[in-house]
Amino acid sequence: MAAPGVHLSVLAGPTIPVPLPPVETSRLRSVRVTETDDERSVFTLTFDAGRGGAVAGFDAPLLAGSPVEVGARIVLVVTAGVLPTVLMDGIVTTTGLTPGDEPGSATMTVTGEDLSLLLDREEKDAEWPALDDYPQALAVLAPYAADGIVPWVVPPTDMDPPLPVERVPTQHGTDLAHLTMLAQRHGYVAYVVPGPVPGTSSFYWGPPIRVGVPQPAVSVDLGPVTNVVSPPTFRTDLTSPEKVEGSVQDPSTGSATSVAATSSLRVPLAAEPLWMTHSADLRTTRLRESGTSTTTAMARAQARMDRSVDAVVGEGELDGARYGGVLRPRGLVGLRGAGYSHDGLWYVRRVEHRLERGAYRQAFTIAREGYGSTVPVVPL
């Protein structure tokens, strides 16, 4: 399956994914992969399920011993130009068959989720004595190295190792739920990153990636270099940013201390952040923490505010062939041609990849905290 300059490879198998046989590759109609920064990535493969020359009463070739059965591991690799990118490494969770009443109308759909599904299959009650959030994340992820999942864990700025005589951190839920809860305390994110080679992935536990080299620019209204199918539409939500205030009683000193987060510490992507230009209009929410130190409470208040500040959101669709690459969420991308207020760097929240024969579309959602570019140019 390919669009001009784009090639898709599908690997599948019960344990080790291998390339699909030609008979199944030829029946693949479409692929859809949705990646976000706050939920598990999902995929859907649609096949032609016609029986062809099969004897009446017998299954189509696709259903007889197919490697894309429930529980199989699927790897999708997109090559744009000469650079292969692992788009998805996941597990098949559901298959569906729709028999057709006309030749070529029968379809089989294969859906699944990324490898974080492996971390979400068993609820546990566990104790982590003397382990702060960072070493807990490493300990929880360690057993999954056997599945090709490598920990990518960033230490938080606030470290508060618990003394076993005072408190013992506990886990009540799946490993994924526990990692997500720990991440939210620090304004972090937790998700699986497929690749860089088939059969391997990383589990990222750390702050949203808002620094580094941006992905190639999304070009709007620029004549022959325009690479969007649908130009992004933007919306602004003043109810999104919030100040956080409260008080906490330090367990070591017994004194009550006021806690407040009134400005964001995230790397700015906009020259005019709404939390700054409309400070008087922001909502104020209460921090309700107990049993934590003043330093930890302040860090959690700051994390809550930082998570809320992206008040400007844009949604559009790229032509994958003209874009010449694979746009990924959870990182930066440049935007040009939309005017001063919206040009510049953006954080990519979500990308939906849709591949069919001769077409590759990437619907995207981008966000940042306000208007105006912080950079003079964006990478092409």
The per-residue pLDDT for range 193-232, each reduced to its tens digit, is 999 999 999 999 999 999 999 999 999 999 999 999 999 9
pLDDT score of 55: 46
Contacts of residue 78, defined as CB under 8 A and 6 or more positions apart, other chains included, come to 6, 7, 8, 9, 84, 85, 87, 326, 353, 355, 360
- pLDDT score recorded for residue 323: 95
DSSP state of 71: T
Give per-residue pLDDT as tens, 50-92. Answer: 765 554 455 666 666 678 899 999 999 999 878 899 999 999 9
Examine the pLDDT at 241 and tell me if it is beyond 80.
yes
Q: Taking Cα atoms as reference points, which of 113, 115, 158, 111 lies closest to residue 134?
A: 158
In this structure, the dihedral spanned by the alpha carbons of residues 222, 224, 228 and 234, taken in order and rounded to 10 degrees, is: 10
Cβ burial, residue 47 (10 Å; 0-12/13-18/19+) = buried
Question: Is it the case that residue 151 has pLDDT exceeding 90?
Answer: yes
pLDDT at 1 over 70: no
pLDDT: which is higher, 295 or 96: 96
Instruction: Name which of 260-264, 282-286, 293-297 the model is least confident about.
Output: 293-297
Give the pLDDT confidence score for residue 56 in this predicted structure: 47
Q: Residue 117 pLDDT > 90, yes or no?
A: yes
pLDDT at 250: 74
Q: Please, how many CA atoms are within 13 Å of residue 37, restricted to the half-sphere of its CB? A: 24
**Mean pLDDT confidence for 269-281:** 96
* Whole-number pLDDT of residue 296: 87
Mean pLDDT of 156-185: 91
Sign (positive or negative) of CA dihedral 120, 122, 125, 129: negative
Q: What is the pLDDT of residue 24?
A: 87
- Quick one: CA dihedral 249, 156, 192, 353, positive or negative? positive
63: helix, coil or strand?
helix
Domains along the chain with CATH numbers: 2-115 (2.40.10.10), 122-206 (3.55.50), 215-236+311-373 (2.30.300.10), 242-308 (no CATH)
The C-alpha atoms of residue 19 and residue 17 are separated, in whole angstroms, by 7
pTM to 2 decimal places: 0.93
* pLDDT tens-digit map of 314-344: 999 999 999 999 999 999 999 999 999 999 9
Sorted by sequence, the CB contacts under 8 Å of residue 339 that are 6+ apart come out as none
